[in-house]
Amino acid sequence: MSELAQYADLLTPIHQFLHCKTPQAWLDEARKPERLPLLLVDHMNCELKAAQTAMLLLRKYVAAPESQTGLLEWLKPYEHFIYRGEGSLPELLAQNKISKNIIAKNAAPYAQDILDPMILLIKEELHHFTQVLEIMEARDIPYQSITAGRYAKGLMQAVRTHEPCTLVDKLIIGAYIEARSCERFAALAPYLDAPLAKFYVSLLRSEARHYQDYLTLAEKIAGESIALRVQQFGELEAALIQTPDSDFKFHSGSPTPLK
């Protein structure tokens, strides 16, 4: 599609960072009309999970005790919608306009480095959450509870258990998840109807920036080369994307066979 041509400079470093492209078998499955409801529901879940991941980083590494309650309250309406079936689109749209002031821990060594990009990431992911919900409602697609796929769990199993290595690994994982989302949005867009394709193309710039923010943070906090860890996680991520996966999700592997 012609809209993607203007994003060539943005997508080139994404493709260089990732160790593989989305398998054609996944695209062939994702383009089926009957897969669209599950795809959108899982996409909406992924946006919340991305916001939750950034929030956990803020709460563990940045926020002072007096900011913890406010941070938790920020995500509650979205979590209640997903986990309890409570709330509505208008309520969520109003919620995301709230500005959050975070007080950092005095001894947090990377507080400001983490704070600004993670706050922006949370705001954008929650905005994307409501955008997907708007699309679902416009197409009369109800929200349904679905189980999590293997992708994020598979990456997290390789995280080291001592700081700052734990934080560095989580940031590298964040970079790969965002980069894969960007690559997959671009790969999927040509197979979708025009309004939905336009939406996925519109997400590319923010997803690419999120990937770079995570990677830049990982490099800064490590204080040394992270090339080996980036390589290791890249190989693991590619394996999860390329190997047969009996589940179908937005970040699932090659769909053979499907549930």
Dump pLDDT digits (tens) for 108-123.
678 888 988 999 999 9
**132 vs 77, 90, 121, 228, CA distance in Å?**
16, 13, 16, 36
Q: How confident is the model at residue 58 (pLDDT cuts 50, 70, 90)?
A: very high
- Secondary structure of residue 78 in the 3-state scheme: helix
Residue 44, pLDDT above cutoff 80: yes
194 phi and psi, to 5 degrees? -55, -50
d(CA 63, CA 11): 33
Dump pLDDT digits (tens) for 163-180.
999 999 999 999 999 999
Residue 257, pLDDT above cutoff 90: no
Give the distance between the most distant pair of CA atoms in the chain: 52
List, in sequence order, every residue forming a beta bridge with 104; answer none if it has no partner: 63
Structure tokens at 88: 């509505």
**pLDDT for position 99:** 54
**pLDDT for position 96:** 63
- Let me know how long the chain is: 259
The whole-model pTM stands at 0.94
Task: Give the mean pLDDT of the chain.
Answer: 92
pLDDT, average across residues 6-35: 95
**pLDDT for position 47:** 97
**pLDDT for position 85:** 93
